[in-house]
Amino acid sequence: MRARKTHRQLEWSLTATLALVAPLGGCYTGVGDGAGASAGDAGEAGEAGEAGDAGDAGDAGEDGGPANELPAPTTRLYRLTHSQWENTIQDLFYLPEPTGLSADFRTDPSIGGFVFDNNAATLEVDQVLWQSYQRAAVQVAEMITADPSLLAAIAPPDAGDANARAQQFVAEMGVRAYRRPLTTPETDELVALFDAAPALYEGVDPFTAGVRLAIETVLQSPHFLYRIETSTETSGDVIPLGDYEVAARLSYFLWNSMPDGELFDAAADASLGDADAIEDQARRMLVDIRSRAVVEHFHDQVFEVERFQNAAPSAAFYPDAPENLGDLATEEHRRFIEDVVFERAGGVSDLLTSNETFVNDEVARIYGLEGTYGAEFEKATLDPAQRSGILTQLGFLVANSTTANPDPIHRGVFVAKRLACMNIAAPPDGVPPLPPSEGRSNRQAVEDHTEQPGTSCVGCHSTIINPFGFPFENYDVVGAWRLDDNGMAVDATSTIALDGNEIAVTNAVDLAQALAASPTVHACYMQHWIEFAFGRPLAEEDEAFTTRVGEESTSGNMPVVDLLIEIVTSNAFRNRATQELP
Amino acid sequence: MKMHRRQVLRGIGGATVALPFLEAFSPRKAKAGSEIVPPYAIFFRQANGVACVQDTELGAEPERFWPSAQGALTAETVAGRALEELGTYLDRLLVVGGVNMEDFNYADGHARGALQLLTARGPTVEGVGGDSEAAGESIDHRIGRELNLDGRESLFLFAGMDGWLGGPCITYRDAGQRRAAIRDPKQGYMGMMGIDATQFEALAARQQSVNDLVRGQMTSLLASPELSAADRQRLDLHFTSIRDLENSLSCNFTVEQQMLIDGMSPGYESDDGDAVLEAVKAHMHVAALAVACGYTRSVTIQVSSGNDGSTRYRNFDSGELMENFHFLSHRRASHDASGSIIENSDLLHHHVDRHFAQTFAYLLDRLAEYDLPDGSNLLDCGVSVWCNDNGNGPGHSSRNCPFVIAGGASGFLRQGQFLHLGDELTHARVLNTIGSAAGLRNAQGGNIDDFGDPSLPRTVVDELLA
């Protein structure tokens, strides 16, 4: 059984190529025994279980991705996130809008080292959350059964046979709530609730009482609260997922909700064992507006959009800075993402190099745009000599600034870690503060402070952090273009180490172009999507896939939508690993 | 021995389900002794250290936190210090100086402080700074796990914005298993509140039907041989979280109290310090009720994120909101040492300390409201601990981290004293002492000495004992 690399060791294998060209000078990359307690850190395999509800058998590689791209061991229990719970309830009961009940759910804890909020192995049901689920189930059941139109949407008509009606309701509701057909015992136990229910709800007619109790029960069932994968039958190097399991993976990845009728029909027809059929469904789903919220949520987390609200330009130095700078940056960012991904069928290169964005009057002023702009956001074209993609937009720049100066250190760390997936360990404790500039430019002050020979700082700062950060010196604290820094000309030149090469850049526009042409950056973007799609840290098994698709994305500027198609048609998405987590 | 509190109350003709809580605890009506309230621990966490005497790169700063002399706490020894805000309770405080956390390699002073604060443990992975997780269970969770009825978990309450270290970060179920917090004070209360007697039977019967079926499903799932250990652990947690509806008696606020809490709660996710601390005070109402009615033996209240980098507290002199607390702690307008100097920021840090002291006093007021039939007071039955991730601001020191302990746990701890026990007092020993005060015992029935990293001294601090 081959040893599994940890997330950190995988990143090391990417950055190790840099050592061939650029002296890392002892930059600590944090290689250790593991990236914390996560489902991604598996040891020896356990025994295979009984055969489950497997789909069409087929070796990995015959249909879908190359044979060397195998699924990584993962959890079998994917608890619904709170937003998934909310969306699922809305779709399950055909509600016109979300119930909002998940606002009372306690927030899931953040897990160190994982970018996204859906690390499946750590989504738990503790006592507090269970109580919230219980209360919500009661409220939803009461709401549905108290409204004739909502009840009619899920209940079969009364044909005079109460038992048959109950059976039909359970069968129809059950497959949608559990996201698979019910077993006979499951059906029987839910139908039995219709016998007990009338005594439990005073003044409610028997069928309605039965529906109400069934809804309360189903919404507290682990088969509703978790997406459970039970397939165990091995086929070659993989365990093919059942059709309903594939349908659920598809819908919760692309829509953050349960499958719709068409997807359920495809599962019932056993047609989701075929990669082409999955692609057809996925393309249909990516046209649906629900996928836009998912793409937005992904990029919000990758680019740390919530940190845009940290923008706090000093009133002394930036008296004209908008008070709602964070909100403006967020609006621009989200509109840009949606436009690139869905309207322009753009890819990673477009995200990094497009000089088209969205502005209102205040944002236009920061960008120095001529013309008249109103309070509403509209599309605009920025000076290509000054702006190139998301890294030269307001959000990244303002979130990584102090109140008075640009912050090349944090800008550089973000680019290196989040866009190139380089592993940079945290600085040591007790770092002395950056002294006042005293006649120096911001760059000079940072260089003097962090690149002194023989210090613990020079290794990381001179080779990775500062080279990635200094090109952004042309953008001040509010993201505006500048050529002057403390009376001196801004120097935004740099030499970065990327893909085993040293690349000289003159400024951030140049840097963005270099990043857009980098297989490492494209692969890194894919890594983030992998982690988001599967709800787990990157695993060794993902390396072949991310490298291949990263290269294809680099050479062909693969649209983001097509990247998502690659994921859902991959061996990893359609199958489980034969090796279970320990 | 775990006390089954409801039996005690019923045995003395105690409250019915619908009785307001205060009635049940009226000294004129309750007849039981103080055994009704076993010892508890409430932890109240502040970040960023305190404004104490230190030399910084900006110059020397005077002492504004610690009492001026060891020994008896008096109005004179706390005059001009943040602890002055606790003047009413000086005779019931134990202020412990010289508590030193271990310099585990968290690669970040906030992670080292916040994640170690209640765990006395290093990181699961060294050197990863803000991505750190603690490598062990926290003391509050252990108290709940060992002492709460029916395996109920301790309460973890949070107010403020998320940020560094992801927000709630000081309570751990086990190594790397960070717990989620309740943020809306009403949620904490909703979990405890009793059910009207006229509805209880019907509601309980319905839930019993649901629980029977769901437990059967969980049992089947847990029997699956394919489950990983981690999956099984998560399912176990879920399974044990399923509760039959309980005829919980005195865990109810009056309508007026409930409205009060509702009014205090809205700012639980604010960056306005006033709003955040109002929500914290609402949490404190819930905390006091929870320990009073035996719902839990342990409550933790965390204020803001790992570095409290968003909350802006109010300047007492000007009435204006100050820079965010993390900026103040750095003495500069930045989340590191690169920003412009904030004038008088050591004094402003002291203002924040006073805010926290006032808020801690609010907790003590809530606890002190409950008088027990034997003349004792709820405040004295347990320990309330105001603690801090760091010893000071700019340095984020691991040394001399403040522990202000109120209550004494019915005579377990000394009171009315400021003790500085030298330079070698480990924080792990203090946590073992607090855990023992809250009722944790070893297999022989003695005080615990096994909590925290095994490499650290962990024996109870005799000098703190009464």
- What are the tens digits of pLDDT across the range B307-325? 999 999 999 999 999 999 9
The pLDDT tens digits for A389-432 are 999 999 999 999 988 899 999 999 999 999 999 988 777 766 77
Asked if B82 contacts B95 with a C-beta cutoff of 8 angstroms, the reply is no
pLDDT band at B335; cut points 50, 70, 90 = low
Look at residue B249 in the predicted model and tell me its pLDDT. Answer: 52
| CB of A12 less than 8 A from some CB of B | no
> Quick one: pLDDT at residue B202?
81
d(CA B269, CA B276): 7
Would you state the pLDDT for residue A248? 98
The token pair that represents B157 in the structure block:
């309450």
Is residue A460 less than 8 Å (CB to CB) from chain B? no
- DSSP secondary structure string for all residues of A280-349: HHHHHHHHSTHHHHHHHHHHHHHTTGGGGGG----TTT-TT--TTHHHHHHHHHHHHHHIIIIIS--BHH
Distance CA B260, CA B21 (A): 15
Q: Which chain A residue shows the shortest CA-CA distance from B109?
A: A429
Q: What token pair was written down for A575?
A: 């199958």
Q: Which residues of B fall within a CB distance of 8 Å from A129?
A: 180, 241
- Per-residue pLDDT, averaged over B404-413, amounts to 96
Using a 10 angstrom Cβ sphere, with 0-12 exposed, 13-18 middle and 19 or more buried, the burial of residue A266 is: buried
A418 contacts chain B (CB < 8 A): no
- At A63 the pLDDT is 61
Q: What is the largest CA-CA distance in chain B?
A: 68
Chain B within 8 Å of A86 (Cβ-Cβ)?
no
- Phi/psi of residue B353, nearest 5 degrees: -60, -40
Q: pLDDT at position B196, please?
A: 66
User: Is the Cβ pair A232, B153 closer than 8 Å?
Assistant: no
Q: Do A433 and B337 touch (CB under 8 A)?
A: yes
pLDDT score, position A201: 93
A78: DSSP letter: E
Residues of chain B positioned with their CB less than 8 A from the CB of A79:
234
Residues in chain A closer than 8 A to B175 (CB atoms): 37
CA A304 to chain CA centroid, Å, is: 11
Give pLDDT, residue A406: 93
Q: Of residues B262 and B25, which shows the higher confidence score?
A: B262
**Residue A232 reports pLDDT greater than 50:** yes
| B376 compared with A197, residue with greater pLDDT | A197
Distance from CA of B242 to the nearest CA of A (A): 7
Q: Which residues of A touch B217 (CB under 8 A)?
A: 221-223
Residue A241: CA count within 13 A, CB half-sphere: 30
% residues pLDDT > 90 (chain A) = 79
- Give A22's pLDDT tier (boundaries 50, 70, 90): very low
Do the chains contact at A107 and B168, CB–CB below 8 Å?
yes
pLDDT confidence of residue A43: 29
Which pLDDT value is given to residue A66?
Answer: 81
The pLDDT assigned to B256 comes to: 86
Q: Is the pLDDT of residue B105 over 90?
A: yes
Query: How distant is the Cα of A382 from the closest Cα of chain B, in angstroms?
Result: 30
Q: How far is A171 from chain B (nearest CA, A)?
A: 17
pLDDT tens digits for range B112-166: 999 999 999 999 999 899 999 999 999 999 999 999 988 889 999 999 999 899 8
Topology of domain B38-180+271-304+354-464 in CATH is Alkaline Phosphatase, subunit A (3.40.720)
When comparing pLDDT for B14 and A362, which is higher? Answer: A362
| Least confident stretch, B194-208, B338-352, B371-385 | B194-208
B428: its two tokens: 């792990």
CB neighbours (10 Å) of residue B411? 12
Nearest residue of chain B to residue A217 (CA atoms) = B210
pLDDT greater at residue B58 or residue A236: A236
How does residue B13 score in pLDDT terms, banded at 50, 70 and 90? very low
Using DSSP's 3-state secondary structure scheme, residue A569 falls into: coil
Nearest-neighbour CA in chain A from B71: distance (Å): 33
Asked if residue A12 has pLDDT above 80, the reply is no
- The model's pLDDT over A152-190, given as tens digits with 9 standing for 90+, comes to 999 999 999 999 999 999 999 999 999 999 999 999 999
CB pairs under 8 A between A and B: 227
| Phi/psi at A118 (5° precision) | -130, 40
How far does the CA of residue B271 sit from the closest CA of chain A (Å)?
11
Specify the DSSP element, H or E, that contains B383: strand B383-388
- Is the CB of B128 less than 8 angstroms away from the CB of A426? yes
Q: Among partner residues B183, B235, B334, which is closest to A77 by beta-carbon distance?
A: B235
pLDDT exceeds 90 at position B33: no
User: Is residue B423 a contact partner of residue B98, using CB atoms and an 8 Å limit?
Assistant: yes
Interface contact A49-B225, CB threshold 8 A: yes
Q: Which residues contact A188 (CB under 8 A, 6 or more apart)?
A: none
Lowest mean pLDDT of A46-55, A471-480, B13-22, name the range. Answer: B13-22
**Backbone dihedral angles phi then psi of residue B419, each to the nearest 5 degrees:** -120, 130
Contact B238 A217 (CB under 8 A): no
Mean pLDDT, rounded, for B265-273: 94
Q: Does A80 touch chain B (CB under 8 A)?
A: no
Q: Which of A38-47, A311-320, B357-366, B403-412 has the lowest mean pLDDT?
A: A38-47
Measured between beta carbons, the chain B residues lying within 8 angstroms of A104 are 184, 187, 190
How much is the pLDDT for A8? 36
Token pair listed for B358: 């006032």
Given a cut of 70, is residue A105 above it in pLDDT? yes
Per-residue pLDDT, A41: 28
Cβ atoms of B159 and B265 closer than 8 Å: no
The shortest CB-CB distance from A126 to any of B237, B332, B395 is to: B237
Q: What is the pLDDT of residue A5?
A: 33
C-beta atoms of B334 and A36 within 8 A: no
Instruction: State the pLDDT at residue A431.
Output: 72
> Does residue A505 or residue B394 have the better pLDDT?
A505
Three-state DSSP class for residue A351: helix
Q: Which of B79, B108, B211 is nearest to A426 (CA)?
A: B108
With bands split at pLDDT 50, 70 and 90, how would you rate the model's confidence at A53? very low
pLDDT score for A258: 98
Provide the shortest C-alpha distance from residue B279 to chain A (in Å).
15
Interface test with B, best of A128, A213, A308, A579 (most B CBs within 10 A): A128
Q: So what's the pLDDT on residue B254?
A: 82
Q: Across chain B, what does the average pLDDT equal?
A: 88
Band (pLDDT 50/70/90 cuts) for residue A316 is: confident
Boundaries of every domain in chain B: 1-30+185-265, 38-180+271-304+354-464
Average pLDDT, chain A: 88
pTM of the full predicted structure? 0.87
B-facing residues of A in 140-169 (CB < 8 A) are none
Average pLDDT over residues B275-285: 97
Of A75, A407, A430, the CB nearest to B230: A75
For chain B, say whether A90 makes contact (Cβ under 8 Å).
no
pLDDT value for B230: 92
pLDDT tens string A248-297: 999 999 999 999 999 999 999 999 999 999 999 999 999 999 999 999 99
Report which residue type is found at A247.
A
* Residue A285 Cα, gap to closest chain B Cα (Å): 30
Q: Using the beta-carbon criterion (under 8 Å), do A112 and B165 form an inter-chain contact?
A: yes
pLDDT value at B30 more than 50: no
Residue in B180, B334, B395 closest to A107 by CB: B180
- Least confidently predicted of A220-224, A573-577, B165-169, B198-202: B198-202
Q: What is the pLDDT of residue A280?
A: 97
Q: How confident is the model at residue A83 (pLDDT cuts 50, 70, 90)?
A: very high
Half-sphere exposure of A24 (CA within 13 A, CB side): 16
A46 touching chain B per CB within 8 A: yes
Chain A residues in contact with B190 (beta carbon < 8 A): 104, 131, 135
Does position A329 have pLDDT exceeding 70, yes or no? yes
The pLDDT value recorded for residue B151 is 81
The Cα A172–Cα A186 span in angstroms is 13
Residue A2 has pLDDT above 60, yes or no: no
The interface predicted TM-score (ipTM) is 0.84
What pLDDT does residue A111 have? 83
A7-16: average pLDDT: 36
A125 contacts B238? CB cut-off 8 A: yes
- Closest chain B C-alpha to A531 CA, distance in angstroms: 16
Q: What is the pLDDT of residues A140-161, one digit of tens each?
A: 999 999 999 999 999 999 999 9
**Which of B57, B175, B209 lies nearest to residue A193, judging by beta carbons?**
B209
